[in-house]
A and B are shown apart, each in its own frame.
Chain A
Amino acid sequence: MGASLAPYLNHLPRRKALPALFFMCDENWALAMADATRRRAAGQEPAFSLSFYFGLAVTLWVVWLASTTIGALIGPALGDISRWGFDMAFPAVFFVLLKGMWKGMRCAIPWLVSLLCASLAYHYLPGAAYVPVGAITGIIAIVLMGAKA
């Protein structure tokens, strides 16, 4: 993620870019990338907005800590909360993030390859082996498609 953000950070000095990366997580990274794409399309320079990024980062950090604390305090009293469906919020957020990166069906083929391979790996391999499997097979798919085009 840091590598994909790097081209957008060229206008920043290192003393700003390195602290910014400290606060990077999936969500603010994806929204900042989508925002940068939108700003570039609108002709705004620099495409990457540090204030947009830090607004997200600080908000996320506060909410994250607060909700984890509340969860730890009242969680045991709630029992099994999966019957409320809250666990499905996680993939739902990621679907929205992926839509922000959507650039057409062709660009989504490596995503499907990743999903398929990672799911198989999750089913048949122990632990978190599915993460590198999904990432690497997706990148292989990108390279193979690039070679054809």
Chain B
Amino acid sequence: MNILPVATILLMALSTYFTRIIGYLLLRNRQLSPRMQAIMDAAPGCVLITIISPYFVTDKPTDLLALAISLFAASRWSLLPVVVISVVSTALLRCLL
């Protein structure tokens, strides 16, 4: 068995786990300043929206329309209906336009 892929997987697993625990280990049982608390509250949303930003960079109007529909659906319904609405409307838009 080749050692390189196994070592790569193990090291990636370790570094991934490290990113998950480092914040906890640093901030555990610590009183945060109000500014730090504000950053902790709002930063996760920034990261989430950053991850989906490539979807907004498109020259296809159908995809932008589908994103708008998904956003509107998310503002009123829960997870499962939103996913269904999003997938179906995207498929319909791509098929029709």
Contact = CB atoms under 8 A, between A and B. Distances in A.
Interface of A: 1-7, 9-10, 14, 17-18, 21-22, 24, 26, 29-30, 33, 82-99, 101, 103, 107-108, 110-111, 113-115, 118-119, 122-123, 130-131, 133-135, 137-139, 141-143, 146
Interface in B39-85: 39-57, 63, 66-67, 70-71, 73-75, 78-79, 82-83, 85
A95 B70 contact: yes
Given A88-B90, A123-B57, A139 B73 contact: no
A134 B50 CA distance: 5
A11 B65 CA distance: 45
B49 A85 contact: no
A7 B46 contact: no
Interface string B12-42: 0000010111111011111010110011111
Contacts of A99: 74-75
